[in-house]
Amino acid sequence: MRYDGVEETYFKNGQINEIKTYRSGKLNGDYKVYYKSGVLAEHYFYKDDLKQGEAFQYFENGMLKSALTYVDNLIDGIVKYYFEDGEPKAEVTYKKGNKQGSTRVFYHSGEIRELFNNVNNKIEGTYSTYYKSGMIKGEWIYTNGAPDGQSKFYYATGELMAEKEYKNGKENGLTTIYHKNGNKKEEIIFDNGKKQGLNKHFDKKGNLIKEITYKDGKKIDMRDLIKHNSLITNNTYNPYVVKNRTITQKALISLSIILIVALGTYFLYLLLVWLFG
């Protein structure tokens, strides 16, 4: 005999946990899930054991968390997400259970924060971020879910801030950072996500003021063209220099002690000769 009716389950504290509706032994009708506090958490509609139609999820304060639509147990259409106070948080497009199409992410105050496109659950094409003012903040090109190619970043007032190259999701090639007046601020070479080679720094007038050499992401040498106009090896970045310098300092200290003892002994000898002939 196939079961028809409503099935209820409860938490140990006595509060309702789930309410399921059956017809002919299959889920048909409302399916509700609750928090231990008794507040509704999720609400679905079933037809012959498959989720169909509109579904809703809620915060424990009772505010709507997300609204979505199912077709044959798969999410289909635009899913709307909300902040806990009810303000829109994001809109994600699904097709047959996969993220497929545009995604929009919002600031809490309502302005667009991110805009991108998905293909089979992976970001594809242009990924754009925005300041609250609506000005563009950054633009990436995505291929198969990872940054690939040139990306650009902007100051809040619209000036170009940086250009960066990516390959298979990692920084690769030349990154150029700009002052707000458009002159170069920094040039960095990346290799497979790590700084490599010569990194150049410029002042606002475009004059080269510093050069830093990297190897596998670590600083090894620095040339400060303003202070000394010569090579400066920074102890923080060159452990070999630190080690050698420490050894040299210890040797000098030991030599000084030996000289002091020797001189003391010699003067004592002279004093004894003078006193006793």
Model confidence pLDDT, tens digit, residues 221-266: 998 888 655 444 444 444 444 444 455 566 666 766 776 766 666 6
Please state the rounded mean pLDDT for residues 16-20: 97
pLDDT at position 273 is: 56
Burial of residue 188 (CB within 10 Å: 0-12, 13-18, 19+) is buried
Q: Does 1 have pLDDT greater than 60? A: no
Strand partners, 167: 170
The secondary structure element, H or E, covering residue 231 is strand 230-232
CB 72 within 8 A of CB 64: no
Strands (E), 36-192: 40-47, 50-51, 53-58, 64-71, 74-75, 77-82, 88-95, 98-106, 112-119, 122-123, 125-130, 136-143, 146-147, 149-154, 160-167, 170-171, 173-178, 184-191
pLDDT at position 9 is: 96
Q: Which SS3 state, helix, strand or coil, does residue 117 take?
A: strand
Q: How far is CA 45 from CA 70, 87, 149, in A?
A: 9, 25, 44
pLDDT at position 267 is: 61
Distance from C-alpha of 101 to C-alpha of 92, rounded to nearest angstrom? 8
Distance from C-alpha of 177 to C-alpha of 199, rounded to nearest angstrom? 11
63 vs 262, residue with greater confidence: 63
Strand duo 88-95 + 77-82: pairing: antiparallel
pLDDT tens across 103-147, in order? 999 999 999 999 999 999 999 999 999 999 999 999 999 999 999
Q: Does 19 have pLDDT greater than 50? A: yes
pLDDT at position 230 is: 45
Distance from C-alpha of 31 to C-alpha of 70, rounded to nearest angstrom? 13
Burial of residue 34 (CB within 10 Å: 0-12, 13-18, 19+) is buried
